Structure formats: C-alpha cells, structure tokens
Amino acid sequence: MVIAIIGVLIALLLPAVQAAREAARRMQCSNNMKQVTLALHNYHDTNNIFPARKFHLYNVPWWGGFYSLLSFIEQTAAYDAIRSDIALSTSNHVADATGSPVFATLIINTLCCPSDGSAKIIDGAPNATWTIGHKSAGSNIMFSMADVTLENVRFRNGDYTVPVQTATSEELGRALFQEQFWQPMSAVTDGMSNSVAFSESVAALEFLSGTAFRNLRGGISNVSNITNGAPDWEIQAGECMKAKIGSNEISNPGRSIRGRIWAHASPSATGFNTVLPPNSPSCYRIANGFYNWGIFSATSNHPGGVNVSLADGSCRFISDTIDCGNYNGAYPAPGYYSRPSPYGVWGALGSINGGESQTP
C-alpha cells in the first residue's frame, strides 16, 4: 500500500519537475538571446551599423553575422584567430572549415539553447558524419529575414542576379539583416520595439548521403511551388504548410543544415522568416538550391512557441497561434516588399520599414 502511494506521488510530481526544468531551459534560451542582442547593440555603438547577415571574409564567401559579433560575446580571441586563419586560407567556402581549425572546433554556448542539445554537436556525431565537408558546432539563434522568402535582397523586377549594391527600395531595408549590406539603426522606421531581430530554431540532427530526416523541427521539405518563378515570383507559403504530415513530421524532406553551422550565412542555416507561424515546416523551393531559396520557420522545443528578441533588446515568447494573416494566399513579391506585410502581426514584426507598428 505504501509503495503504491509513493508511486502515485511520483507520478504526480514528475510532470511538475519536468515542467520546471523546461521553464529553466526556456529562461536560459531567453537570457542567451538577450546577450546576443546586447552584443548587436554594442556592435552598432562601435560601427554605427548592424552587421550584415552575409558577407565575404577575405577570399572566403558565405560568412554570417555571428562572426562579426564574436568580440562582443567574449570571443575576441576566437575572432582574431579565425580572421588570421582565413587570411591565409585557400578555402573557398565557409562550410568547408578547412581554413580555420579554431572555427571547426569552436562551440559558442551563448548561441545554443539547452532545450536542444544537437546544436553543440560537431561533425554530425554520434550517428554520422557530414557528407559535404561541413564541420562546425551550430546555433539555435537565427537572424531575422523578415517576410522576404527569396535569397535576401537578391530580387528586383524578376532579376535575382542584380548586385546587392545596386538593389533598390523594394528589397533593401525590408529585413534588419541583409546580404553585403549593413543597416543603420535609423533604417528601423517601424520602431525598435516593433521589429524582431532574432528567434530560435532547432538544429538539424545530421544529414546523410541519400537520406534526410522527416523532423518538423530542424528538417526542411522540398516544395517547388512555394514560389512560381520569374517574372512574378509569387509567394505561396501555404504550400509549405502542407508539408506537415504529423505532429513532428514533414513530407519530402531534403538535406538540412538548419542551425548546424554557427558562422554560415545561408538563410537555411542561420536565418528565419516571419511568414508561417512558429513551429511550422521549413521549405526549400528547389532541391539543388537548398542553401538559399525558401521559407525557414522559427522553431523550438518549448511547448507552444518560440523565444524572440526585438531590436530594442527586449525578449518575448511568441505563441504558435500568433496572427500570420492569410498565408494561404498568393502574393507577388514586388507587391508587398515595400508595403505592409500580408502575414499579419508576425509578418509585421519581421519587417523594419513596412509601415506597421505591431507589438507582440
């Protein structure tokens, strides 16, 4: 009888203990995000601009904004070592990690959420190794790309090859973080407290040659008709939502580097879109372009939503049920890239100059 009572008490207590542990993990994730956003402001105080999401470091392309922030999150030694390594490197891609042993082995705890241990895994262990040369720890913190679902700032009048430096108002300024373009604080005309800077994403477990996991969180589905191609580039985000086939599964999974490489500038690796609700599927438009074009959703292992930080440094928990407008509609990209977002409160929080003043 006593044993039975003890068993009942344990059964009642265990969910409460698990909930308390998850609350602590969620708070740690939020604290990490605050530290990164503080680093963002310190970077701006020093340089009068926010870091670019994507830029070239010497001869190596695809470096992302977290490298620029290293010195502001107590990683100055790593920043200097990587810079020195890359200056002498013959590597032609950040993901190769052949140019800097420091980069290949560096785990940045500030970028990792304790609710997702996979971000700290290097080289795909324990189950497998990467298949295309990637060797790096990851990041659960993602840069906001607003509701721009194409490769950021590459789109103008149906031509996605236009150099960023000559792109015009439709694209530049839509998101806080851009490709080869450094935004000043003055560009955030919707207000710093109304604009998202960072959110979370669960890191991909691994990817194998010929194999892709169906995980909703961390995985990415191949859905070609999320845009209809040139000249209109009509966005059809609802097609990506259809890829969800279970509580945590997606159909037609592709290779995923989601959250796997902390310094990688690819939208699929360290970016997110404020288009579909948190914990929705992420989708590539084309299988061979898996780094760039698509919809990359914010995800977490916290029940009911994700942590985000706003550009003013405050953090919020955004529910899975946040208003996302009619994401089942079809929207020509040129029709809204310089106007209020069609994706409700979530889309408005992503854009920094869409003329909205939404608060979470």
Q: Is residue 74 a part of any domain in this protein?
A: yes
**Tally of CA atoms within 13 A in the half-sphere of 104 that contains its CB:** 15
Residue 225 contacts residue 233 (beta carbons within 8 Å): no
Q: Is residue 146 a part of any domain in this protein?
A: yes
Radius of gyration of the chain (CA): 20
Residue 50 contacts residue 183 (beta carbons within 8 Å): yes
Domain hosting 173: range is 2-350
Angle at 93 between CA 137 and CA 217, to 5 degrees: 40
Residue 116 contacts residue 37 (beta carbons within 8 Å): no
Q: Is residue 120 a part of any domain in this protein?
A: yes
Please report, in tens digits, the pLDDT of each residue of the chain (360 residues total): 666 655 554 555 445 445 556 667 767 888 899 999 999 999 999 999 899 888 777 767 778 899 999 999 999 998 888 888 777 766 656 655 556 778 878 889 999 998 887 787 776 444 445 544 556 788 999 999 998 876 544 434 434 343 333 344 445 568 888 877 788 898 888 889 999 999 999 988 755 555 677 889 988 998 888 887 666 678 889 999 999 998 889 999 887 888 888 888 888 889 999 999 999 999 987 655 555 678 999 999 998 999 999 999 999 999 999 999 999 998 877 677 778 889 999 999 998 887 766 555
Q: Is residue 250 a part of any domain in this protein?
A: yes
Q: Is residue 356 a part of any domain in this protein?
A: no
Q: Which of 140, 109, 108, 135 is nearest to 124 (CA)?
A: 135
How far apart are the C-alpha atoms of 180 and 140, rounded to whole Å? 23
Residue 252 contacts residue 318 (beta carbons within 8 Å): no
Q: Is residue 357 a part of any domain in this protein?
A: no
Q: Which of 326, 327, 323 is nearest to 345 (CA)?
A: 323
Q: Is residue 266 a part of any domain in this protein?
A: yes
Q: Which of 305, 297, 290 is nearest to 273 (CA)?
A: 297
Q: Is residue 263 a part of any domain in this protein?
A: yes
Q: For the chain, how many structural domains are there in total?
A: 1
